[in-house]
Chains A and B, each alone.
Chain A
Amino acid sequence: METVWFFIIAAMLAVYVVLDGFDFGAGILHLFVAKNEGERRTVINAIGPFWDGNEVWLLAGGGVLVFAFPKAYAVGFSGFYLPLIMALWLLILRGISIEFRGLETNALWRSFWDGAFFFSSSLMAIILGAALGNVIRGVPIGETGYFSGPLFTDFRVSENPGVLDWYTVTVGVFALVVLTLHGALFLSYKTSGEVQKRSQSLCLPLWFVMVLVGVLTTIATAQVRPDLYRNLLGRPWTWVLAFGVIVSTVLIPLFVVRKRDLLAFLSSAGFIVCMLAATAAGLYPTMLTSTINREFDLTIHNAAAGPLSLKVGIIWWGIAIVLAVFYFVHLFRAFKGKVSPETDIYSH
């Protein structure tokens, strides 16, 4: 049962990254691919009806984490106190930027929110990556079962690492590149005209950077957590995921060159999902590794809620996820097709 919940949470977070990832990417890119007011509005309109629903996957994933693994939630959230609070501020800033921007016509007002949108989106992408980096690398959980991670120490991976060190920053940069590419592919699919042209022209260079940083990150991970790869090699079913990572990596540029925008975007989504799933499979059954002593590891067994919770939860979760998928399919279908400044959803 705990195993099922572990993968449910991993799956929900992967869906979150895929969905909110494209609007992060749009936020990072909009300053560069959209030069005038009409183009900027096109980008905002492309994500307008979706971003809020996308973010809900994070909230729902958080809710499920409290429910299934209360101890992991408590230890993780209190340990990453400051970085999480700062991530919250960025999420607040980001939501406000998207929604408040269109409510005033003043050019300075709009430029300000454009800047805020770019700033919060890029930093959030790095933070998401760094957070994943922390989960992979491990945190200094001590005898009390809790830890307190300083924001940074000396940037070395040690027994008492900071939240930011050379490894987690590397993963953060990788996430930034992956999500920027993801956003570029989304905009290529959703927009037309100049915005689409500029987005498309960024895809291949971004893809090269992504492969480069990806290889570096993989090597770094092998240095920091060699057991992750040993786990993966020991579990042959996970090879499918590794295969998926490679295939989707190759597919992205092929589709980009042939201007199959939707397929290219979906390949990128597949890449993100396989990547995260492989990481989760490599970590399993550990949720948070202790860098001090592996005895203090938080695993799915010592962090899980009671058996009744987990059992009835599955039923609720099953119903809810069917409904949620239905809503989201409905939402994406209602707003399918290209957007233009005339779609004009923020002009109340």
Chain B
Amino acid sequence: MDALTWGRFQFGFLATYHYIFPQLTMGLALLIVVLKILALRKGDDAYNRAAQFWARIFAINFVVGVVTGIPLEFQFGTNWARFSTYSGGVIGLTLALEGLFAFFAESAFLGLFLFGEKRLSAKGHLFAAVMVFLGAWLSGYFIIATNAFMQYPVGYRMTSENTLQLADMWLYLFNPWAIWQYLHNMNASVVTASFVMSAVGAFYLLSNRFEKQGKIFLKVGVISGFISCVGLLFPTGDFHGKMVAKYQPAALAAMEGKFETGDKAELAIIGQPDVVNRRLENPIYVPYVLSYLAYGSFGAVVKGLNDFPEDEIPDNIELLYYAYHIMVGLGTIFILLMLISGIKLWRNTLFQSRAMLWILMCAFPFPYIANSMGWLVAELGRQPWLIYGLFRTSEGNSELVSGGNIAFSSLGFMGMYLVIGVLFLYLIGKVIAKGPEEAMIIGGGA
């Protein structure tokens, strides 16, 4: 592999691995605030202990999220120097704002939230939780606004030295693409947290331990899971998809495996793209639906990949197609799953339904898969551009950094992250095995 390919691989690997952790912490931050509010209103200590339990899971995730996030800020400079020179004057704004507004709030209040429960009043502790939540969600916004500029560049001006400059700050910060991508992404992270919370709840009920807490986890997890799963599809997924159709038509065609241009375009539910012969094999189609979903009219023309110049279509159509279909397919299953669980919860039969509890317990990895696929779709769909329509990926890497250097650092990161992953799973497993009741004994023993 050459330096560019290694560079793309490394960024993809680091970003995908990193995003395992913040998707849970961003969602959990919200659910912890919910638990803290319930604790205050109901005056029931079980909710407080539930919040403490998730705070411990949060803390371990947060640490790994922070340490795996630092390399990403460095990546722009180390591996993508020409891209940073070209666009740093614009995207630097959101990167700086993330550090200045989000990280400071998050880290300072996390210290207070985790270590300060005994030193703060109940309301003060809730305030710390809210600040951690705000910091985490703000941080997410700045990152997505940065990504949105790469997907749909607005608010910039070209200088005489052929670099980008900020021209309209508000347009840049409130890029319409950023808003839909953000809402879609945050829904997805609440889905992850809800599934994880439900899974732990189901685990406790199935193993007949900590049943009171298990029921709280299931209740909060299933309700927030249902709301966020629906939000994932509509409005956020729908509107985000329409933006892709409008501004990245080549990406849309690749996501759908559509080679021929046509009106009344059909939606492919299943099928395998054959890039060499430029067709979709073994497809199952639903007629008209793609035209409608993309452009709001059953007769709208959807442009196929054959009608784009070869150097303007994504360079990995198969992966993009499968990632997109896995994301959408899983999302649909999530809605059904949470709908059924929600009905059972409503009828008070969820806690006795062992089959449903088993399914909920085993379902938690799938939101992680769906979310990683979502990012793959966003990033592969943008190719061959680094900044859509403006700047190609092949122009962005650091000229003087060789493939060997990046190969070396990639291997180092992979080894390190493997060890961290094993330790992480072990420690999380330990916290879950210990259970929420033990959280009371802070200050005693080890």
Which residue of chain A is the closest to B112 with respect to CB atoms? A334
- The residues in A between 77 and 106 inclusive whose CB is less than 8 angstroms from any CB of B are 77-82, 84-85, 88-89, 91-93, 95-96, 99-100, 102-105
User: Are the CB atoms of A91 and B443 closer together than 8 Å?
Assistant: no
- A63-B95, A66-B88, A306-B159 given; A56·B70 CB < 8 A: no
- The residues in A between 42 and 92 inclusive whose CB is less than 8 angstroms from any CB of B are 48-50, 52-53, 55-56, 59-64, 66-68, 70-71, 73-82, 84-85, 88-89, 91-92
User: Are the CB atoms of A306 and B108 closer together than 8 Å?
Assistant: no
Mark contacts of B74-110 with chain A using CB atoms, 8 A cut-off: 1 yes-contact digit, 0 otherwise.
Answer: 1011110111110111111101111111011101111
A contact residues around B60 at 8 Å (CB): 99, 103
> What secondary structure prevails in chain B residues at the interface with A?
helix
User: Are the CB atoms of B400 and A148 closer together than 8 Å?
Assistant: yes
User: Are the CB atoms of A52 and B400 closer together than 8 Å?
Assistant: no
CA gap between A321 and B104 in the complex, in Å: 9
Residue in contact with B111 in the complex, picked from A52, A95, A104, A148, CB distance below 8 Å: A52
Which residue of chain A is the closest to B446 with respect to CB atoms? A105
CA gap between A191 and B442 in the complex, in Å: 21
Q: Which bucket holds chain A's interface residue count?
A: 35 or more
Which residue of chain B is the closest to A326 with respect to CB atoms? B108
The residue in B66, B107, B408 that gathers the most chain A C-beta atoms within 10 A of its C-beta is B107
Mark contacts of A292-330 with chain B using CB atoms, 8 A cut-off: 1 yes-contact digit, 0 otherwise.
Answer: 000000000000011011001100110011011001101
CA gap between A348 and B166 in the complex, in Å: 47
User: Are the CB atoms of A316 and B399 closer together than 8 Å?
Assistant: no
| Chain B proximity of A81: nearest CB distance (Å) | 5
A contact residues around B93 at 8 Å (CB): 67, 309, 312-313, 316
User: Are the CB atoms of B169 and A308 closer together than 8 Å?
Assistant: yes
Residue in contact with B78 in the complex, picked from A78, A91, A320, CB distance below 8 Å: A78
- A91-B67, A306-B159, A313-B96 given; A62·B73 CB < 8 A: yes
The count of residues in chain B whose C-beta lies closer than 8 Å to any C-beta of chain A is 77
User: Are the CB atoms of B111 and A53 closer together than 8 Å?
Assistant: yes
> What secondary structure prevails in chain A residues at the interface with B?
helix
User: Are the CB atoms of B100 and A81 closer together than 8 Å?
Assistant: no
B contact residues around A99 at 8 Å (CB): 59-60, 63
Which residue of chain B is the closest to A147 with respect to CB atoms? B400
| Interface check B390, CB cutoff 8 A | no
User: Are the CB atoms of B115 and A63 closer together than 8 Å?
Assistant: no
User: Are the CB atoms of B119 and A320 closer together than 8 Å?
Assistant: no
Residue in contact with A321 in the complex, picked from B87, B100, B116, B413, CB distance below 8 Å: B100
- A52-B66, A63-B98, A309-B165 given; A328·B88 CB < 8 A: no
A contact residues around B409 at 8 Å (CB): 81-82, 85
| Interface check B427, CB cutoff 8 A | yes
The residue in B67, B108, B408, B423 that gathers the most chain A C-beta atoms within 10 A of its C-beta is B108
Which residue of chain A is the closest to B101 with respect to CB atoms? A320
A contact residues around B159 at 8 Å (CB): 306
Which residue of chain A is the closest to B116 with respect to CB atoms? A334
Which residue of chain A is the closest to B64 with respect to CB atoms? A96
A contact residues around B105 at 8 Å (CB): 323, 327
The residue in A67, A100, A324, A342 that gathers the most chain B C-beta atoms within 10 A of its C-beta is A67
| Interface check B42, CB cutoff 8 A | no
User: Are the CB atoms of B74 and A77 closer together than 8 Å?
Assistant: yes
User: Are the CB atoms of B88 and A342 closer together than 8 Å?
Assistant: no
A contact residues around B91 at 8 Å (CB): 66
| Interface check A257, CB cutoff 8 A | no
B contact residues around A81 at 8 Å (CB): 78, 398, 401, 405, 409
B contact residues around A62 at 8 Å (CB): 73-74, 99
CA gap between A105 and B430 in the complex, in Å: 12
Residue in contact with B443 in the complex, picked from A63, A77, A327, A342, CB distance below 8 Å: A342
| Chain B proximity of A40: nearest CB distance (Å) | 12
Which residue of chain A is the closest to B77 with respect to CB atoms? A77
| Chain B proximity of A88: nearest CB distance (Å) | 5
A contact residues around B427 at 8 Å (CB): 100, 103-104
CA gap between A103 and B426 in the complex, in Å: 10
| Interface check B416, CB cutoff 8 A | yes
Residue in contact with B442 in the complex, picked from A64, A66, A313, A347, CB distance below 8 Å: A347
User: Are the CB atoms of B103 and A88 closer together than 8 Å?
Assistant: no
CA gap between A342 and B118 in the complex, in Å: 13
User: Are the CB atoms of B89 and A327 closer together than 8 Å?
Assistant: no
CA gap between A177 and B84 in the complex, in Å: 35
Subset of 11 A-B contacts with CB under 8 Å? A63-B97, A66-B77, A74-B398, A84-B77, A95-B67, A320-B104, A324-B104, A327-B105, A328-B108, A331-B111, A344-B442
Q: Which 4 A-B pairs have the closest CB atoms?
A: A70-B88, A77-B77, A67-B92, A306-B165
Known: A55-B107, A63-B98, A70-B87. 17 other contacts (CB 8 A): A49-B116, A53-B107, A56-B107, A66-B84, A66-B95, A75-B81, A76-B77, A77-B77, A78-B400, A88-B71, A92-B420, A93-B416, A100-B63, A144-B400, A313-B93, A330-B112, A348-B442
What residues of chain B have their CB less than 8 Å away from a CB belonging to chain A? 56, 59-60, 63-64, 66-68, 70-71, 73-74, 76-79, 81-85, 87-93, 95-101, 103-105, 107-112, 114-116, 119-120, 157, 159, 163, 165-167, 169, 398-401, 405, 408-409, 412-413, 416, 420, 423, 427, 430-431, 439, 442-446
